[in-house]
Structure 1
Amino acid sequence: MGRLATAFLIAAAAVTGAAATGGEAQRDPQALARQWAAYEEVRPKSIIELQPFRAEWDAEDAAQGLRLHFVALNPAVDAWFLLQATDARGRVHSYHLENPDPAAQSVRFETTPSPTVVIRGRVGAETFCRPWADGARELAEARRTALPYAPVCNGRLFLRNKVTGSRTTLEATAEFLRDNIWGGEDIVRFVRDTFFKDSQLETSRELGIGGGRAEQGPAPMRASTPPDQRPVISTLLDIALEGTPHGRMAVGLWYPVKGLPGIYASAFQPRAIAPEVLQGPGRTNRLDSVEAKATGYMVAFDLGRLDMGYAVGTDHPALGWSPRPPGSVRPRGMPGPDGVRSAAPLVRLGMVNPVIANRTVATFTGGFKREHGAFKYGDMATYNHGHHYGFIEKGTIFSKLQPGLSTLYRLTDGTIGMKTWTEADNALLPRIDFARQNGVPLLETDPVTGQGVPGDRVARWGPGNWSGSAKAELRTLRAGACMARSAGTTWLIYGYFSTATPSAMARTFQAYGCDYAMLLDMNALEHTYLALYVPQGGRTHVAHMVPGMSLIDKKMGGGRILPRFIGFADNRDFFYVTRKEAPG
């Protein structure tokens, strides 16, 4: 990044962080410049050094015999903090604290007259908290609970406790083979390509010709037949809809989800896409006979009513090197592409906090593990350390965002976007709430028309890093996401493809009017998981994209379900969708 751009970024960080840290003096531009220089250096570093916009305080609590170090990891986001207490014997105790609702309360650290954490609510009421007092009794008790989120400071903050993230037997077996058996990755690939290829393929019976209201939800899929003459097909969608009996949907039309305003669902088969889309601009491969008839589903979220978040899993994506790029792009002595191998002393949890859980309406899995989240072939494997996919949670950078990669992100002002990241976009970093990169675009936005067109690597197996079989056979279970706009509403659309190539995904998203689309994950139901949380008679019903996904959740007594990402920690990263709250 050039000097002018760097100066602008540092100035932006100083201004955006001023309120959260107690004033402009706390955001010393020279300190920010030093932190940015350390961030850009190619050398081993800690996860804290990877936070260029952090604010830090040091204080003595003589009464407690402690030296305190308090870090706001990104003051503009105001969500995560690191408290380190050093006792008289030089022992350092680290505590990762979370502000569960930055929109409703802010956090600051005061060093005088005595060190105090101050939590200020919307109406100005303040809570003064010193959890390290009395031998850090409150923090010790919170840690002993072993809860992922243990309340402290009168319940206004959470201590994040390290836990083990859940994983399925399939994932555990694959990871054991990769980590412990020579050639384990080849074994996993052989089993997947031989026994699991098209394992989730869904085909449907045509039940008649019909249709429905094309004006509800996002724009309907552009098809070879008008909306009132669409084939009505049998479906396995495990979500209750309005306007159609369970198990029946007209191809390409949208149906409201019962009990969840602002959420719609649609069923598709790529063979129904309008010829002008299939033969439109952009290079893609022709649909093969299997993916053409494969039934898939879209779920759309109205971003005027709903908000989004993102969380890393307890283990994935990891921070070290992917084995995919060549050794020539690895600087000697670097433990990972960003110089970081471990997130410690920060705690990764793979689940939402209890405050957010109460207003969460959906979750879906995030993206590739680090092992597969970098390039093995093509030009992008040869520079930028192989373009490892970047990710940011709560304003905290776990892995740097790389130019050229598809990125789903949210800014601190609530803006949600999807784009191919550029070097110039780093100016947004001080205001990034979350970001997740996953490969290259399925659709890019045409700068002239504003419409989505297939990315220039969609039909290129290696340079596109689309994975699939060793023979470049790309058809498999896949999930992706896109952004679409219709009638003044912005939609985030999640797509589940029971079997598809990147070309089929691109043309399908294009047919739904998406202006940008990206791959998320693939190959297994746990990697393409989506669940909706529907209020029903004082309880919450967990509805899944397809029935097999329910096996990933945990079962409790009385027929109750403990949902993934909400009720227990998971080893994988994920996105969550929440109801927007009226300003208080």
Structure 2
Amino acid sequence: MTTTDFLARLGAAATVAALGLGATILPAGADTMAPWYAPAATRAAQFADFREDYRRSVVEFQPFRAELTGIGADGTPLRLTSLNPYVNAWFVLETGEGRSARAWHLENAAPELFTVSLGADGRSLVIESEAGTVSCAPWEGDLESARDSGLPYSPICEQRMFLRNRGSGSRTTREAVTEFLRDYVPFGESLINVIKDTLYEDAYLTTAQTMDEAEAGSVVNALGQADLRAHPVMRSNLRVDLVGADSTQMEAGAWYAVQNAPGIYASTVQPGMVSQEVMAVPGANGMDGVENRSDVHMWAFDMSRFDLRYEIGTSHPEVDWSPRPSGAGRDYNLPGPDGFGTVEPLQMTGMMNPVFMDRLAGIFAGGFKRDHGAWRLTDYAYTNHGHHYGFVVNGVVLSRLQPGLATLYVLQDGTVHMDIWSEQLDFMLPHIRFARQNGTPLVERNADGVGVPGSQVRSWMGGNWSGSAEAQLRTLRSGVCMRTVDDRQFLIYAVFMSATPSAMTRVFQAYHCDMAMLLDMNSLDLTYSAIYPRLPGSEEFSIVHLDRRMAESDSRHRDGTPMGRFIEFSDNRDFFYLLRR
């Protein structure tokens, strides 16, 4: 579904209501808004306030927040805030008052299914679904126990909710999470069954794992070959089992289905192989001999098979000021460009929720950390507080999405999009579940919808492209692009071993991308990506990296087996992950 299709389905009334400008608030899903109704005037005032600049907390910053209050059976004052009732994923529960007041960051285990409230009497936390109603009072001891568990996601309320705890990279925490994972199936069987029976039905998990060679071949044929002047056989650091081919003998520019990973495809190329027809499209610089011969490794994900999600790390990206903006681009009266310098009381775990382990298909590292995620020069440095790169997690705006920046985002209905953000798109904010900005586009759509070099590809400062530690523009870089083939959408992630933005642009053009953006750079640690093939019906998976040297970023269990980054221990950097539908 395209953005246009989604907006048409919302309709004008929903668009107005989403900003609190109409008479009612329309639900994000069946009954999910019912406990969180707020008058239109309140919604409008909150959204107007969201655009203002002043000191506040990240909770007060949220434009769609709504709250319920009550008093527990033990007399504890309660306030439950849904940070975005449309997305229905993150909540802040405040308990007590005065010096005993505490704030707890809760996550809905299944936002598509569970409606969370304080109940009609305001005396307990109530989670409702088609499978029944669960009531609990976690402030009577369970929250402290969940906090002390050391788990980044600690289950409460019969596994319907999780207390989020800030992640740690310590061995103790890693082993605690590992033990949780090993014990998870008997522990979480009831939750898995609820989700399976009411949300995924017969299409859940193992049935989505199979893909015969004929189907894989038809997708490979649809993807075709990149526009290259030659298609030599390459030997690279991509080591993956392919359907009907050897990864040490891959034809440049061709796509290959990955064995035991339905919907995932691999390709390799070098920028110097791009055809003259692609190189002749104006808007990018020429390439030198080094980047002409540098390897590029790619995954392509058939998005009809996956959900894309995003988490920030325990430390990056932060929400305070980048040191880059100055003058009119910086307000020293504010702790950060959006009025806050910390995400407290929200807790960033730095890892995927283990409840999704049996659906995990792939992961790739996110974008620049805050220090580098703003402009030093050009008009962007002196307007909109330096255009700090924005990001949204589970419907919560942690940093405003800035106009003019390339934005990868996931709507509430699960569709994935990449656009140049503009203020005219702000009305979609209540329905954006995940978003990440990272500079200006490498490839953007022209008037005919064809991908051409972005307007700032040639400008080092204009595109905020950064460089290596030696200030070289050519360095190891990663990027992501979108491509549609026969109404089938593909997300392509690529690592360029030594490239400028122009070389990245030419490769993405050659692969027929209509939109592309930079992510991170300078090391394999910052451009990390892995997929997780598994035999049909098996709970066991292997870790396959886009470059085999990325394995150095993984940790190890005590028995020496790999411990997957972002999935079995917390990380300080942000990341995207793909789950099988």
Indicate the TM-score class for this superposition, using the shorter chain for normalisation. 0.7 to 0.9
Which residue does the alignment assign to 1:69? 79
SS at match of 1:526: coil
Query: Structure 1 stretch 400-409 or stretch 143-152: which is displaced more?
Result: 143-152
- Does residue 576 of structure 1 match 2:581? no
Which residue does the alignment assign to 1:78? 88
1:396-420 deviation per Cα after TM superposition (whole angstroms, max 9, x unaligned): 1100000000000000011100010
Whole-Å separation in 2 of the counterparts to 1:255 and 1:324: 42
Q: Contact conserved, 2:167 with 2:351, CA < 8 A, in 1?
A: no
Q: Against the structure 1 CA distance between its residues 119 and 214, is the aligned structure 2 distance closer, same or farther, given a 3 Å change threshold?
A: closer
Q: Which amino acid aligns with 1:392?
A: V
SS at match of 1:408: strand
1:408-455 deviation per Cα after TM superposition (whole angstroms, max 9, x unaligned): 00000111000100010101000000000000000001122x110001
C-alpha displacement at 1:526, in angstroms?
Answer: 1.1
Q: Which amino acid aligns with 1:285?
A: N
Which residue does the alignment assign to 1:127? 134
Which residue does the alignment assign to 2:423? 423
C-alpha displacement at 1:545, in angstroms?
Answer: 0.9
C-alpha displacement at 1:519, in angstroms?
Answer: 0.2
C-alpha displacement at 1:108, in angstroms?
Answer: 2.3
Whole-Å separation in 1 of the counterparts to 2:169 and 2:487: 40
Q: Which amino acid aligns with 2:556?
A: K
Q: Contact conserved, 1:375 with 1:388, CA < 8 A, in 2?
A: yes
Which residue does the alignment assign to 1:237? 238
Q: Contact conserved, 1:440 with 1:455, CA < 8 A, in 2?
A: yes
Q: Which amino acid aligns with 2:411?
A: L
Whole-Å separation in 2 of the counterparts to 1:54 and 1:271: 50
1:352-402 deviation per Cα after TM superposition (whole angstroms, max 9, x unaligned): 112222211111101000000000121211211110000000001100000
After TM superposition, the score normalised by the length of structure 1 is: 0.85
Whole-Å separation in 2 of the counterparts to 1:9 and 1:501: 40
Q: Against the structure 1 CA distance between its residues 406 and 555, is the aligned structure 2 distance closer, same or farther, given a 3 Å change threshold?
A: same
C-alpha displacement at 1:213, in angstroms?
Answer: 8.9
The size of the alignment, in residue pairs, is 520
1:534-554 deviation per Cα after TM superposition (whole angstroms, max 9, x unaligned): 115652111111121111111
SS at match of 2:114: strand
Whole-Å separation in 2 of the counterparts to 1:520 and 1:166: 27
Q: Contact conserved, 1:217 with 1:264, CA < 8 A, in 2?
A: no
User: Could you say which structure has the higher strand fraction?
Assistant: 1
Whole-Å separation in 2 of the counterparts to 1:165 and 1:317: 17
Whole-Å separation in 1 of the counterparts to 2:33 and 2:398: 26
Q: Against the structure 1 CA distance between its residues 551 and 492, is the aligned structure 2 distance closer, same or farther, given a 3 Å change threshold?
A: same
Which residue does the alignment assign to 1:454? 453
1:108-129 deviation per Cα after TM superposition (whole angstroms, max 9, x unaligned): 21353342222223x3422122
Q: Against the structure 1 CA distance between its residues 378 and 458, is the aligned structure 2 distance closer, same or farther, given a 3 Å change threshold?
A: same
Following superposition of structure 1 onto structure 2, how do residues 489-508 of structure 1 map, counting pairs within 5 Å? Answer: 489-508=488-507
Q: Contact conserved, 1:411 with 1:432, CA < 8 A, in 2?
A: yes
Which residue does the alignment assign to 2:144? 140
SS at match of 2:141: helix
5+ long unaligned stretches in structure 1: 168-211
Q: Against the structure 1 CA distance between its residues 273 and 336, is the aligned structure 2 distance closer, same or farther, given a 3 Å change threshold?
A: same
Q: Against the structure 1 CA distance between its residues 471 and 558, is the aligned structure 2 distance closer, same or farther, given a 3 Å change threshold?
A: closer
Which residue does the alignment assign to 2:166? 162
Which residue does the alignment assign to 1:216? 221
Query: Structure 1 stretch 334-343 or stretch 554-563: which is displaced more?
Result: 554-563
Which residue does the alignment assign to 1:479? 478
Q: Which amino acid aligns with 1:560?
A: T
Which residue does the alignment assign to 1:39? 50
Whole-Å separation in 1 of the counterparts to 2:370 and 2:225: 35
Q: Contact conserved, 1:219 with 1:513, CA < 8 A, in 2?
A: no
Q: Which amino acid aligns with 1:15?
A: L
Which residue does the alignment assign to 1:329? 329
User: Could you say which structure has the higher helix fraction?
Assistant: 2
Q: Percent identity?
A: 43
C-alpha displacement at 1:98, in angstroms?
Answer: 0.7
Whole-Å separation in 2 of the counterparts to 1:283 and 1:114: 60
C-alpha displacement at 1:130, in angstroms?
Answer: 1.9
Q: Which amino acid aligns with 2:81?
A: V
Which residue does the alignment assign to 1:202? none
SS at match of 1:414: coil
C-alpha displacement at 1:315, in angstroms?
Answer: 0.7
C-alpha displacement at 1:307, in angstroms?
Answer: 1.3
Structure 2 counterpart of 1:102, from 76, 87, 111: 111
Q: Which amino acid aligns with 1:147?
A: L
SS at match of 1:333: coil
C-alpha displacement at 1:331, in angstroms?
Answer: 2.1
Q: Contact conserved, 1:312 with 1:573, CA < 8 A, in 2?
A: yes
SS at match of 1:358: helix
Which residue does the alignment assign to 1:175? none
Whole-Å separation in 1 of the counterparts to 2:165 and 2:219: 48
Q: Contact conserved, 1:308 with 1:577, CA < 8 A, in 2?
A: yes
Q: Which amino acid aligns with 2:266?
A: A
Q: Which amino acid aligns with 2:462?
A: P
Whole-Å separation in 1 of the counterparts to 2:407 and 2:432: 12
1:317-344 deviation per Cα after TM superposition (whole angstroms, max 9, x unaligned): 0000000111432124111110110111
Q: CA RMSD in A?
A: 2.2
Which residue does the alignment assign to 1:193? none
Whole-Å separation in 1 of the counterparts to 2:33 and 2:380: 43
Whole-Å separation in 2 of the counterparts to 1:118 and 1:457: 51
C-alpha displacement at 1:558, in angstroms?
Answer: 3.5
Q: Contact conserved, 1:166 with 1:570, CA < 8 A, in 2?
A: no
Which residue does the alignment assign to 2:564? 563
After TM superposition, the score normalised by the length of structure 2 is: 0.86
Q: Which amino acid aligns with 1:120?
A: E
1:299-320 deviation per Cα after TM superposition (whole angstroms, max 9, x unaligned): 0000111110000111100000
Q: Which amino acid aligns with 2:145?
A: E
Q: Contact conserved, 1:315 with 1:572, CA < 8 A, in 2?
A: yes
